[in-house]
Structure 1
Amino acid sequence: MKFNIMKIKLILFLIVIVRAKENSECKEIHLNNVPHKKHVLGMGLNRPYQLAYDLKEHKVFFSYNVGNDTEDTFQIGFLKKGHIKHEEVPDVVNGFAIAIDNKDDVIYFGGSEGIYKHHLKPNSTVEKIVSDRNVWDMFFKHHLYFIEYPSQHLYKCVHEKSGVATEHQKHIHEKIYQFVIDGDEDIFITNETGLYRIKKNTTDRIFYGEPTVFRAIEVNNKGVAYFSAKDGIYVANKTSDTLENVARIKNIFGLAFDNDDNIIYSSPYEIIKLLPERCK
């Protein structure tokens, strides 16, 4: 009996130690001056990029490096709701880019050998719709847009009777790294000199200044564009044409938003959701 009591005391002591460690490691992040707690959705990943969120099934899609330290080879994976272990998307060669049409429940994958389409429903297979394109980045709004590598030129996918055609978007004449269209139909692009806004129905570039290195641009469900830089997450103030920091987080690789517009971001090895609550 004494042995059992001592054993119970030891277990309780270990529980207290574990909880104390968890609390000591819990670091709040202030998003728009509101305390948020980090909830880890996935871990053990090597540089997860290109996050995309399935609003109906609550899956987080992403690309990640499966190569060695000297060579980048990418695979597309996804996390189911409540599952910290990820699964792989098959049949996409060197998959890197992802875009979701949440209205029609279709997801697009871009790899080194083309663009693939997958219906977000059970038993749906991955179908290649564009061949011989090395895809750097993708964005969906009304149409699928993609940036080709190494030209860094922007293209739009257009459905024709013979299949899917790709049209070079000549009004975006420079080499770009990211492209999105926000809720006002304004375009944001990044190139080697920084971030620019192109107002709807114009071609003039409005420079948004420092910082000039971005790993991800994503538009939330309200149509607001968010930008991840070296030192945090930013939004555009369209009145002053400046960037405003909304969260100080370093080493962000990807951004996405869930149904409630909670931010999901990736660090070098984890995928994390920010929820408005304090650490206890």
Structure 2
Amino acid sequence: MKLVIILSAIIIVLVKYNETKQASKTKCETILVNGKNHKRVVMSNGINRPYQLSVSKRNHTIYFSYNTGFDNTSTFEIGYIKKEHRVAIPISGVKNGFATAIDEKNNIVYFGGSDGIYMDDISKSGNITHLINNHNIWDLFYKDDLYFITYPSRKLYKYLGENKSEIQKSIYEKIYQFAIDGDEDTFITNKTGLYIIKNGTNDRILYEGAKVFRTIEINNKGVAHFCGQNEIFVANKHKHTLHKIADVKDIFGLGFDHEDNIIYSNPHEIVKLLPENCK
């Protein structure tokens, strides 16, 4: 009888220990960003390959493209999620919507699709205007002006207004991504990797390290962030190397909220990373 009681007590202790250990593990299941713990806050899930994130800081709204076809096909549309609303809302009228960008100052969001670029004044949501046609849009970037990359040519253009644009002859190569950071330095990616073009020059400087990227995004401080398939990097401009700040499995898109917290997407979720005190 005593043996039974002792064994029961041991089992209870072990169960409690495992429960405590599991709870601790769950509580402290975080992602390191710059060596600091950050908890994952899922903002939306059940989305098929959300990509090309653009965050309206003023309206706390995330715009993105996503696949509406099957996993082995690609038919893209534009959608968005509002603050504290997990369900994605589709935006109609943009054919094969694939790219997004935001003019934060003027509260305007741009959408790119297979028949050109559209504009939506966020303060008058739903009033979508077709800005430019005859271009299949691969990527969009906004800083002072709207830039876009076409497909399949992968050439860079600048929007001039009134359905007009001009090719950017200084970017003569076929590119995948384009961005201008807070120092007015330009970053481009092509099939050979990531390059910086310093402000006031036309020289390409190749960055060592990763060669394939899914997006380049600029945070609120003007710092460029680069997404590989499973990592987030920032640039060391003195050594022309990439510094990894986080490991994130199968990352698709990247953005930043009004407090510069990272927002990223994976094949089925949009997630925010928040600092977490975890011991």
Provide TM-score, normalisation by structure 2. 0.89
Q: Quick check: 209-218 or 123-132, which moved more?
A: 123-132
Aligned pairs for 1:70-81 (under 5 A) are 70-81=72-83
Gap runs ≥5 in structure 1: 1-16
Cα shift readout 1:9-57 (whole Å, capped 9, x = no counterpart): xxxxxxxx9xx67963862111011110000001001110000001111
Deviation at 1:230, TM superposition (A): 2.1
Larger Rg: 2
Determine the C-alpha separation between the residues in 2 that align with 1:81 and 1:22.
Answer: 29
Q: Quick check: 64-73 or 187-196, which moved more?
A: 64-73
Aligned pairs for 1:1-280 (under 5 A) are 24=26, 27-159=29-161, 163-278=162-277
Deviation at 1:71, TM superposition (A): 2.4
Determine the C-alpha separation between the residues in 2 that align with 1:25 and 1:138.
Answer: 38
Cα shift readout 1:235-269 (whole Å, capped 9, x = no counterpart): 00111111100001121100000001000000110
Determine the C-alpha separation between the residues in 1 that align with 2:28 and 2:50.
Answer: 22
Change (3 A) 1:231 1:239: same
Calculate percent identity across the aligned residue pairs: 51
Q: Which amino acid aligns with 1:24?
A: T
Deviation at 1:217, TM superposition (A): 0.6
Cα shift readout 1:193-225 (whole Å, capped 9, x = no counterpart): 000000011110010022111001100011000
Q: Which amino acid aligns with 1:214?
A: F
Deviation at 1:231, TM superposition (A): 2.8
Determine the C-alpha separation between the residues in 2 that align with 1:22 and 1:93.
Answer: 47
Determine the C-alpha separation between the residues in 2 that align with 1:68 and 1:25.
Answer: 35
Q: Secondary structure at the match of 1:24?
A: helix
Cα shift readout 1:174-197 (whole Å, capped 9, x = no counterpart): 000000000000000000000000
Change (3 A) 1:123 1:31: closer
8 Å CA contact 1:23–1:279 kept in 2: the answer is no
Change (3 A) 1:148 1:23: same
Q: Which residue of 2 aligns with 1:3?
A: none
Cα shift readout 1:102-146 (whole Å, capped 9, x = no counterpart): 000001000001100100113541110101110000000010000
8 Å CA contact 2:208–2:240 kept in 1: the answer is no
Determine the C-alpha separation between the residues in 1 that align with 2:234 and 2:117.
Answer: 30
8 Å CA contact 1:37–1:278 kept in 2: the answer is no
Change (3 A) 1:27 1:131: same
Deviation at 1:70, TM superposition (A): 3.6
Provide TM-score, normalisation by structure 1. 0.89
8 Å CA contact 1:37–1:279 kept in 2: the answer is no
Determine the C-alpha separation between the residues in 2 that align with 1:122 and 1:246.
Answer: 37
8 Å CA contact 2:229–2:252 kept in 1: the answer is no
Gap runs ≥5 in structure 2: 1-18
